[in-house]
Amino acid sequence: MNTKRMLMIALAVAIVLMLGVSVVSAQDNRGNGNGNGGGRGNGYQGGRNPDAARGGSNGGGLYLNLPPASADELPQDVIDLMTGGWLDEQHAYAVYSSVIDQFGAVRPFVNIQRSEAQHISAWETLFARYGVAIPEVPAFDLPEFASLTDACAVGAEAEVANFGLYDTMLSAFEAYPDLQYVAQTLRDASEFNHQPAFEMCAGV
């Protein structure tokens, strides 16, 4: 085997290894202005959104380090919190769809909407793991905005509320490392990726 071919193989192996290490950050970086478009509609319908479908059944590789299941059955209060997180992500997805319908495929909404689809997929992975039925997506009351700047300002406020919700989950999920892992990952995406992108758009 000649030297050039060996170098090419070594480079390919290195790229594969780097992708494996960076997959977690790569998924949510699409929410801070570095990704491409997203789907439209009133909500991500339980795996039927094309952006989430490309990610597969485990949230698009976002949760390769997901801890194993920690119980045979979850108590209802924990299920209620999981459902609350799923609904919050569904609502965000629907609102961002509405903004895209109003203003076109604008950043950061197209990027963050795709990230929200991954977050929904993550919750549904946990629902499947514990045999929890996925609820119906409700019909949300969707706002209209006077300007893209106003939409971004509301988006920034929504992300603060989102990671506040996840802060509540983190203590409630202490006995369930897999649930806590997902809640922490999604919480950090809201604070460190989505909120800054919306604030930049809003001129904050």
For 40-53, write each residue's pLDDT tens digit: 334 544 443 333 33
Percent with pLDDT over 90 in the chain: 56
Start-to-end CA distance of the chain, whole Å, equals: 58
Decide if pLDDT at 120 tops 80. yes
- The domains found in the chain, sorted by start residue, are 3-202 (1.20.1260.10)
